[in-house]
Amino acid sequence: MNMLELNHIRSNQATPGGYVVLTLGLLALLMTLVWQQKILAENDMLQARLTLRADQLRQKVSAAEVAVHEPESAAAQQAILHIILPWSGLLKGMESIHRDDIRLMSLDPQWKRKLIQLRLLATNREAIWAYMEGLRQLGMMKEVKLKSSESTHLNGMPVVAFEVEALWDI
């Protein structure tokens, strides 16, 4: 009786050719890593040279040019100081005084005078004093003062609109 055999799948045996290809691949990977390290080292050296050269060019600027640009640089320095003030710490500290009976309407910082003006709404006068005490307790504010207060109605409910001034001490 004639039999038909359909097993054409090769067995999974390691051959010397496979080991050669694996070895060549690992060698190529190693050479690529060495080449990449060399390129990165050259790049670092060139960046150091560029920085050194830029520093040398900056030092060659004459004193006359510095005198011409001095008012502009003073204005730029003031703008930089305005930008780097600790606004986030100040605002997060103020947000930490969370009260359900107080709503902040506006915030007016005056960075030259280190003054901050707050316009708020409160449901009662006791909440105003508690909020001001919370500002004093922060440690970031000094001279917390109630500038004005006014009883009014908002959506038919009685509220107190008030304004607080404080100097920040950061």
- pLDDT tens, residue by residue, 126-157: 999 999 998 888 888 888 999 999 998 888 88
* Bridge partners for 153 per DSSP: 158
Mean pLDDT (whole number) for 82-111? 80
The answer to whether 124 touches 131, Cβ cutoff 8 Å, is: no
- Look at residue 145 in the predicted model and tell me its pLDDT: 92
Residue 96 banded pLDDT, cuts 50, 70, 90: confident
Separation of CA 23 from chain center: 48
The span from the CA of 139 to the CA of 9, in Å, is 80
Instruction: Name the DSSP class of 119.
Output: E
State the pLDDT confidence band at 42, using cuts at 50, 70 and 90. very high
Band of residue 86 on the pLDDT scale cut at 50, 70, 90: low
Mean pLDDT across the chain: 83
| Between 47 and 24, the higher pLDDT residue | 24
Q: Would the pLDDT of 41 be above 60? A: yes
Whether pLDDT at 67 is above 80: no
Of 17-21, 36-40, 91-95, the poorest mean pLDDT is in 91-95
**Rounded to 5 degrees, what are φ and ψ at 85?**
-60, 150
| DSSP letter, residue 141 | E
How much of the chain exceeds pLDDT 70, in percent? 84
Cα–Cα dist 142/114, whole Å: 10
Judge contact between 168 and 141, C-beta under 8 A: yes
Cα within 13 Å of Cα(138), Cβ side = 26
Residue 152's DSSP bridge partners are: 159
* Helix (H) or strand (E) run with residue 151 in it: strand 141-154
Buried b (16+ CB within 10 A) or exposed e, 100-122: eebeeeeeebeeeeeebebbbbb
Question: Are 104 and 96 spatial neighbours (Cβ–Cβ below 8 Å)?
Answer: no
